[in-house]
């Protein structure tokens, strides 16, 4: 894992210099503390911050081809590099390192832009073709590794994080109000927006080319996407499919254990991390080293399940206890790394956990992220299934009663009152035929935070009240897919890529120079799962049915059959001590600061703060609003006003 940044002259301008690149790449020192590398010519400048994982001695970047006409810097890992290297050698290519990076330059020589289709990995790639004076950028299929870019003063600037771009004086600092409205709806900006005006993200599964003289024209193409059959074949038995799934996951785990440094694994106590750790234990020779986080509050804590699996596997295990005071104290640092407003505090304990991993001498961890999106694990999928069943007979009294089976783990469940639950989930039935129907309850709850926006922000967002912007991004064929497949696609392209793999993934692991790897997001696993009959994902209301079947006899039965409990952390209660807010919270959410920033209504925010101080913010909407407002103010203070708060 690493950090990359660079500058391409789109017009005839002075050559990019190391003096320009150095402050940009040093902002990414946390991503690559093991050294810096540079390349510059009259057209382009590339810089790299290295976290040494493969070929510790010889893998310094930029990496070049035989005649130095191709230069590459990249952030990530190519897991099938050994197989690719063998093939490329047979085709006559000569290597001077043992790194996974070098396969990229030779694959490009061999296959051109389509080389990305040969990669099994997680990556953000910047490749300079000197002969063609052409810059090629690419991002991995599911968006595990970030890549931002902007055009300013006749140049293309790019980097792994926005802070690298802001290190250059040509880049303006301003929040994008429309992206803010998207975050307070979908939890993340829609592709290819970022929270910063004029700064874009290269979407997952996309490539970009830029050439000098194009006057800012960028050519962006999709090279991979989630796809589902219109008619799903149903010819193979569950036993055959479960065996193939286990084989695919085992190979995915094996590939992600490739490293010249020790590899650990996260162990949450849920099904997904239990699968990855058990596959390491039973099907590889890698010593099993695991890490977990626990909480003081039983509502969030899963340590009893973690202990069961630790005992079952006999793993060497470390855990950290996350207290509410830790969330309060570390939240500004979390936002410095997320570079975006967030609606929950959940990234904070994961940053504490990655700090523990780093302190134990580990640079790499495997996690279970992606299993729910790929194999049908989320409550939102079950909820949508019930609502569609109900929507076919909206006057039924019996069908909505099935909702009682949802959210048993919540202390303040919306199911506590059947009348309220039926009223809440019946809203949005007018979207019954829309591909995003299953997501409207969550988005409606999140969008309640709009009431806290200032009148100016509300005016700017007045045409964003529909979900048209999201619908316009969806592929036309989505209307012919099965409902669950539609739900999976939207989940993968909004919450997963925009938040879970970013603010809750890459940013909080790399904050401590730790690389996360995700076996469930191997594209072969996704492509296999996308062909499955729907009942093998959700059997009745039994989520991830095929995965559970594949793991029979491999993980403990009570964990294999455990009801899904999403990872969560204490929210607004973390920021108050006996009703008194933390100093920085009191400062940033004061009427003066709120009015100064102009994003929120000061009186409405004050009422919310008082409600949270009294411990009365027990619902999702209030907690999301509080965390979202506080994190927005932190982003504004740190990045727009350039004040460091931690």
- Whether residue 385 sits in one domain with residue 496: yes
List C-alpha distances in Å: 480 to 231, 334, 374, 486: 9, 40, 19, 9
Question: Based on the domain organization, do 107 and 235 belong to the same domain?
Answer: no
Q: What would the DSSP string read from start to end of 253-292? A: HHHHT--SS-EEEE--SSHHHHHHHHHHHHH--S--EEEE
Backbone angles phi, psi at 376, to 5 degrees: 80, 55
Residue 388 lies in a domain: yes
Give a yes or no: residue 421 inside a domain: no
| Same domain, yes or no: 172 and 241 | no
Q: What is the pLDDT of residue 164?
A: 98
- pLDDT, residue 433, reads 87
2 is catalytic: yes
- Could you give the CA distance from residue 542 to residue 557 in angstroms, rounded to a whole number? 15
Radius of gyration of the chain (CA): 24
Residue 210 lies in a domain: yes
Cα–Cα–Cα angle for 142, 147, 149, nearest 5°? Answer: 135
**C-alpha to C-alpha distance for 114 and 136, rounded to whole angstroms:** 11
Please check whether residue 453 lies inside any domain of the structure. Answer: no
Are both 140 and 14 inside the same structural domain?
Answer: yes
Q: CA–CA separation, 209 vs 156, rounded Å?
A: 11
Q: Which one from 1, 2, 210, 406 is the annotated catalytic residue?
A: 2
In degrees rounded to 5, what are phi and psi of residue 556? -60, 145
| CA distance to 239, 293, 518, per residue, from 246 (Å) | 11, 27, 15
pLDDT score recorded for residue 119: 98
Instruction: For residue 503, give the CATH number of its domain.
Output: 3.40.50.620
The first and second tokens of residue 530, run together, are: 């996308």
Q: What pLDDT does 424 receive?
A: 61
> What pLDDT is attached to residue 232?
84
Report DSSP letters for 194-238, one per residue.
-SBTT-EEPPTTEEEEEETTSTT--EEEE-------SS----S-H
Instruction: Specify whether 302 is located in the same domain as 387.
Output: yes
Q: What is the pLDDT of residues 573-596, one digit of tens each?
A: 999 999 999 999 999 999 999 999
560 token code pair: 């294999």
Q: Examine the domain organization and report whether 70 and 153 are in the same domain.
A: yes
Within-domain flag for 184: no
Do 490 and 595 have their domain in common?
A: no
Report residue 121: phi and psi, to 5°.
-175, -170
Instruction: Classify residue 164: in a domain, yes or no.
Output: yes
For the chain, residues with pLDDT lower than 70 are 1, 55, 214-216, 393-427, 645-646
Could you tell me the residue range of the domain that residue 385 belongs to? 225-399+474-567
Domain identity same for 129 and 207: yes
In a domain, 450, yes or no: no
Domain boundary among 513, 548, 567: 567
Do 173 and 298 reside in the same domain of the chain?
no
Choose the final residue of a domain: 533, 567, 601: 567
- Mean pLDDT, the chain, rounded, equals 93
Closest by CA to 496, choosing from 474, 463, 521, 479, is 521
Domain holding 63: CATH number?
A: 3.60.20.10
Q: What's 477-526 look like in SS3? A: HHHHCCHHHHHHHHHHHHHHHHHHCHHHHHHHHHCCCCEEECHHHCHHHH
Q: What is the pLDDT of residue 3?
A: 96
- Check whether residue 290 and residue 352 sit in a common domain: yes
What is the residue-wise DSSP string for 400-428?
GGGGGGS-TT-TT-GGGSHHHHHHHHHTT
Are 263 and 386 contained in the same domain?
yes
pLDDT at 396: 63
Same domain, 480 and 345: yes
Give the per-residue pLDDT at 564.
79
Total count of domains within the chain: 3
Examine residue 456 and state whether it is found in any structural domain, yes or no: no
């Amino acid at each position: 894992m690493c950090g990359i940044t660079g500058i391409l002259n789109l017009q005839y301008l002075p050559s990019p210099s190391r003096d320009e690149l150095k402050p940009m790449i040093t902002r990414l020192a946390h991503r690559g503390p093991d050294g810096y590398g540079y390349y510059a010519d009259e057209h382009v400048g590339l810089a790299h911050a290295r976290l040494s994982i493969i070929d510790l001695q010889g893998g310094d970047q930029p990496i070049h081809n035989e005649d130095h006409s191709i230069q590459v810097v990249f952030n990530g890992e190519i897991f099938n590099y050994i197989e690719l290297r063998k093939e490329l050698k047979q085709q006559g290519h000569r290597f001077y390192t043992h790194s996974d990076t070098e396969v990229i330059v030779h694959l490009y020589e061999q296959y051109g832009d389509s080389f990305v289709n040969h990669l099994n990995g997680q990556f953000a790639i910047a490749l300079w073709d000197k002969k063609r004076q052409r810059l090629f950028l690419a991002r991995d299929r599911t968006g595990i590794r970030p890549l931002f870019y902007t055009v300013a003063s006749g140049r293309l600037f790019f980097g792994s994080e926005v802070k690298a771009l802001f290190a250059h004086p040509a880049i303006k600092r301003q929040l994008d109000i429309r992206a803010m409205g998207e975050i307070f709806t979908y939890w993340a900006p829609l592709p290819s927006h970022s929270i910063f005006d004029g700064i874009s993200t290269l979407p997952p599964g996309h490539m970009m080319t830029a050439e000098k003289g194009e006057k800012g024209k960028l050519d962006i193409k999709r090279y991979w996407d989630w796809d589902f059959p219109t008619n799903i074949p149903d010819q193979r038995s569950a036993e055959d499919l479960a065996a193939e799934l286990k084989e695919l996951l085992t190979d995915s785990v094996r590939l992600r254990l490739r490293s010249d440094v020790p590899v650990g694994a996260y162990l949450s106590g849920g099904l997904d991390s239990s699968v990855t750790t058990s596959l390491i234990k039973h099907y590889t020779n890698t010593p099993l080293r695991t890490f977990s986080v626990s909480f003081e509050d039983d509502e969030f804590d899963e340590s009893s399940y973690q202990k069961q699996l630790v005992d079952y596997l006999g793993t060497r295990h470390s855990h950290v206890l996350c207290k509410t005071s830790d969330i309060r104290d570390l939240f500004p640092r979390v936002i410095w790394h997320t570079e975006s407003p967030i609606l929950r505090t959940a990234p904070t304990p994961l940053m504490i956990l990655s700090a523990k991993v780093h302190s134990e001498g580990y640079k790499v961890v495997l996690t279970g992220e992606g299993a729910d999106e790929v194999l049908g694990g989320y409550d939102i999928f079950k909820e949508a299934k019930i609502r569609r069943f109900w929507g076919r007979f909206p006057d039924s009294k019996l069908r909505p009663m099935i909702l009682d089976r949802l959210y048993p783990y919540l202390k303040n469940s919306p199911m506590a009152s059947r009348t309220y639950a039926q009223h809440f989930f019946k809203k949005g039935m007018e979207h019954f035929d829309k591909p995003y129907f299953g997501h409207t309850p969550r988005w409606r709850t999140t969008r309640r935070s709009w009431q806290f926006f200032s009148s100016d922000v509300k005016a700017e967002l007045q045409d964003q009240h529909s979900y048209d912007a999201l619908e316009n991004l969806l592929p036309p064929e989505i209307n012919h897919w099965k409902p669950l497949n539609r739900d999976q696609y939207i989940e993968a392209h909004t919450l997963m890529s925009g938040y879970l793999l970013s603010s809750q993934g890459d940013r909080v692991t790399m904050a401590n120079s730790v690389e996360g790897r995700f076996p469930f997001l191997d594209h072969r696993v996704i492509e296999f799962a996308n062909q499955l009959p729907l009942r093998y994902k959700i059997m009745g209301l039994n989520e991830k049915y095929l995965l559970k079947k594949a793991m029979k006899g491999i993980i403990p039965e009570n964990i294999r059959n455990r009801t899904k409990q999403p990872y969560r952390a204490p929210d607004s209660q973390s920021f108050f001590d006996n009703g008194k807010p933390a100093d920085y919270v009191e400062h940033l959410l004061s009427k003066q600061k709120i009015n100064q920033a102009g994003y929120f209504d000061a009186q409405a925010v004050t009422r919310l703060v008082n409600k949270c101080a009294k411990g009365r913010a027990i619902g999702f909407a209030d907690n999301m609003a509080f965390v979202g407002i506080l994190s927005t103010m932190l982003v504004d203070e740190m990045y727009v006003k350039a004040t460091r708060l931690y």
